[in-house]
Structure 1
């Protein structure tokens, strides 16, 4: 099946802002999973919070439901500008890449994987300038007071103390690892999504020659949701070790730990599986967030296409 859309229509400010707001709503629903994942990744050897259920139980016992939203204010503040940058770069790069690979006569899944993967990686690179400081501040708030981590009086207090101790670079702690984590993760996610969608359509008997094929709304949602789940599973399994190292570096960097020391400590405490701390919540987050996001994303693309036709 071949569905052709002019992606350049989707970078209009009004539509991009709408999508960014919609994705921010998805972030609200799934934010507690990020808190659980982060606390699991920074847990010390003798911590009682060794799994997701114990983390949730401890947070609810000590702070109630607000404990599941530690650092949320900081994240939501930076979410909209970061998403606008991400989505604009994503669509712009995707259009250019598709034009570049079409003459090479690759199969549709391969073309989709290349275009989506490069677009996802580029979009992530552009958005890191906004995202990394937000990530550093929010993660410090997520684990404050936990395993002897410093307590803070809100996001501004975190930023003030980081700048005072390390200058502006304190807000970009772990920037290199963030780029190494999120750019490949984004590339793998979008490449897996683009390729898996087309493979699923082919499996359902819709090949590239079926130009007049008009899938039902239910079919579209099912295939897009399946693609989002496959993409989330693939990306989380490949990039969780880097995410664990990045998180511990950003949260524990003020204790003098380097990336190498973090890896050595994780392996000493839990063996190689220590690098996969938080895999369950991260897999759930990437699959659930990705599936919700892609359904909203594709829905708005269809609205845009209809708008252009009227």
Structure 2
């Protein structure tokens, strides 16, 4: 696949990830929909659209998803939704993709991928930004919401890693979404007393499921086999800045000094990791 196409696919996927944060936060902070219902509608609508795309394409493809990846997808989606009851868009995205980075880079290094000195410095800079965000203080995020988002990030890291070489991206993503649906419906049944549906919230959930989740994840699974695990983890750290800017512009959320400095540190770290990969031999 041409390099420009890989870059374009990766960029589209990252925009979709940021869109998920915005849609979820908008639904849970500005409408009456509950987190379990949002999760269920998101996964069901994503599964329906992906299944329809697979049927429309009419072909035999290797890889149909699996239950472990579906479980990781469900844990990510549920933790993501419940965390955004408490967290602002940018802070939630920073915590999420910090956990993603940690899990995916650890796996990549364990599999034999190596960082150059500049890449290690970039990783240290990015991690320092995330740590600075979570240090207790007046603008520190709620602990319970932060822990839920950390769990969601680890689950997404597992899901992303399992996507490398899993088969046809659209077919695999469809299979994983379909398998995650009964898990989401069971969660909704268990929390039925807290259920609350509202038209705007349902609309946000549908947009998240159809566009930024279903189609966005299929795009991500297409790009994943062409990226190292460490690179895939690091480029996702650009999502928090996109989400934070969207939260400020679209949801009137505050742009705090802590969030700004953390974002600058993370993006600086990303630049070092990605650029150094092309110009320095690994240690």
Max Rg structure: 1
Q: TM-score, normalised by structure 2?
A: 0.31
TM-score relative to the length of structure 1: 0.29
Which structure has the higher relative contact order (CA within 8 Å, separation 6+)?
2
